[in-house]
Structure 1
Amino acid sequence: MVFTENKIISLFLILLFLGLDLKAQTPKNNDSVPSTWELLKYDGVSAFGGLKKTYSQPLKWQKDDFLTAGAVVAGTAVLYIFDDEANEWFRNQEDDIPMFIQDFGWYYGSPQNNYAVNGAVYLYGLFTRNEKVRRTGVLMISAATTAGIIQSILKTAVGRARPKEGLGKGDFKPFSNEPNYHSFPSGHTILSFTTAYALSKQFKNPFVKAGIIGIGLIPPASRLWEGAHWLTDVGLSMALSILVVDSIDNYLTKERDYGQKEDSGISWKFNVGLGRIGVTGTF
């Protein structure tokens, strides 16, 4: 079976809408019902506000936030030790991976397809006036944009060589315009995992969450199979996705009026202590 770009996006959207709670939420007082244009403006401000909130958040960091940042840096440093071995192992698996999974990894992590999915989710929520789906769409779009801008800047500034070029994990050419030196971080990983993680937070069932997260891990794995990124590129990108989504999710809950949010998401916490570094997910 040949999976085309449109088939992959369509299948993902069908599964998505079947899984989300699609029961429309209509205010009791019809006189106070906002127009579609008013909702669109409000959501646009919310999405941009989430972006600003995330970028300004480091200025307000507390002790725990610095510990989290330190854990991410330390974790990336540990992965760096195994970059060569991980690259060799993943490259050896490529021939055994079914082609439709490889195709999905590429298409789902591509910016145009990722934003098509995010946009479809938001527009469905907007025109059906489903507040839960609408808020999910705002979160997905805002998080993908926020994390995407960060990775675009870092990719050029860091200038790390891709493994498939035969260069070492320590080869860098900062501010290079050559695509072969745009390995760190992984754009496919950031977009796909940001979308998957944001979506997973909307469900209570741990098996559904795990399934969504699993789908979001396919593009990162595909980039490792292809030798497009090192393990550290993918690891840092996933950590960045989690931090961005959680920041914007908290902003939408505390500072924007999208109703009472249920505690339906998975919560990630970085743990740092004497002799230990880890991350814990709470369902």
Structure 2
Amino acid sequence: MTKTVTVSGRTSPVQQSRSRFLSITCPPALLSFSLLLLIAVFQLALVAPLQAAENVFTSVSAIKEEAGRFAGEGKLFLKGPVDPYLTGTFVTAGLFGLTYLFDEDIRNEFAGSHHGVMRGITDAGNTVSNPLLHLGVAAAFYGTGAVTDQVKVMQLGEEMGEALLLADGATFVLKGAIGRGRPYQTGSNSSYRPFQFKDGYDSLPSMHTASSFALAHVVAAKTESIYGKAACYAAASLAGFSRVYQTKHWASDVILGAAIGELAGAAVTRYRSAPAGSVTVAPVAIEGAPALALLGRF
């Protein structure tokens, strides 16, 4: 005999948290839009005119070039916290530690029902900072540049995509490895379940924030206007604030996410601005055998 027990027809707080986590992390409508955008870009690139610039959709040499470039940028990204941003690393560590002390106070300040103008602003901030949407935007720029033979537009899409892959990849790995409980999941900012990959225990660092700052760095590097640069970082900062305001992340999650995003964007722009003749060494595999490759601009 099977016994069923219902308590006031309501789900438990944990079930509510998991449901909210799933809906926030990957909204079905946004996921569908991003996938459709990627498919459309791919199809447009395939039917691009013959005179269009080589791109990763149609050229093997372009794929190889992109792989080599991404490897070089990855190396700069990994060593960036020590060289050349050691001072920045110490500053970030200090900010992270200080914010960590006040995480729970900040969460409590923003806890409760949200409504009015601030709710609308932070709803928008959460939506436009979704990493899937950012990847779709990068693909759209790249595809448009490939189809219309506008190399600068295609290059901007490349840089966006490379920075996003570095930032999102790093945060994805760290989230699962650290396993920090989200503010709506646990009452303490020091609740961890490392390497368990549980819903609601992937708070540190904030991927939305990292993705937003990576994109902001790349776009800001393309404009000479101080107001344009400020607008890029203001939008990225709104993303981080929105995650904290709506208790999706601890404040210290946002600090680390912003640092990772900025580091990823800087790795891409630094690699591309390297003077001709500069090289870097990166591990590769040749017919299954480990080897080292010299990557650079000549």
TM-score scaled by length of structure 2: 0.67
Structure 1, 47-56 or 110-119: larger mean CA deviation: 47-56
Structure 1, 78-87 or 104-113: larger mean CA deviation: 104-113
Relative distance call for 1:78 and 1:99 in structure 2 (3 A) is closer
Distance 2:57 2:246 in 1: 45
Q: Which of 254, 260, 263 is equivalent to 1:243?
A: 263
Structure 1 counterpart of 2:179 = 159
Sequence identity percentage: 22
For 1:211, give the aligned amino acid: A
Distance 1:76 1:102 in 2: 22
Distance apart, 1:109 and its partner CA: 2.4
SS, match of residue 181 in structure 1:
coil
Cα-to-partner distance string for 1:241-268 (whole Å, 9 max, x where unaligned): 11111111111222789xxxxxxxxxxx
Cα-to-partner distance string for 1:18-53 (whole Å, 9 max, x where unaligned): xxxxxxxxxxxxxx9854569865654454344423
Q: Which of 142, 148, 159 is equivalent to 2:168?
A: 148
1:204 counterpart = 2:224? yes
Structure 1, 229-238 or 158-167: larger mean CA deviation: 158-167
Distance 1:117 1:251 in 2: 22
Q: Which of 122, 144, 157 is equivalent to 2:142?
A: 122
Distance apart, 1:191 and its partner CA: 1.6
Structure 2 counterpart of 1:48 = 67
Distance 1:124 1:33 in 2: 10
Q: Which of 57, 82, 106 is equivalent to 2:102?
A: 82
For 2:229, give the aligned amino acid: K
SS, match of residue 204 in structure 2:
coil
Return 5+ residue gaps in structure 2 as ranges: 1-28, 35-50, 278-298
Relative distance call for 1:112 and 1:171 in structure 2 (3 A) is same
Contact 2:52–2:148 (Cα < 8 Å) also in 1 = no
Count residues with an aligned counterpart: 232
Distance apart, 1:83 and its partner CA: 1.3
Contact 1:118–1:141 (Cα < 8 Å) also in 2 = yes
Contact 1:159–1:176 (Cα < 8 Å) also in 2 = yes
Structure 2 counterpart of 1:26 = none
Contact 1:43–1:138 (Cα < 8 Å) also in 2 = no
Distance 1:42 1:144 in 2: 22
Structure 1 counterpart of 2:15 = none
Structure 2 counterpart of 1:73 = 93
Distance apart, 1:206 and its partner CA: 1.1
Contact 1:50–1:142 (Cα < 8 Å) also in 2 = no
1:234 counterpart = 2:215? no
Q: Which of 74, 92, 95 is equivalent to 2:115?
A: 95
Cα RMSD (Å): 3.3
Relative distance call for 1:43 and 1:82 in structure 2 (3 A) is farther
Higher Rg? 2
Distance 2:60 2:81 in 1: 30
Relative distance call for 1:137 and 1:181 in structure 2 (3 A) is same
Distance 2:204 2:252 in 1: 8
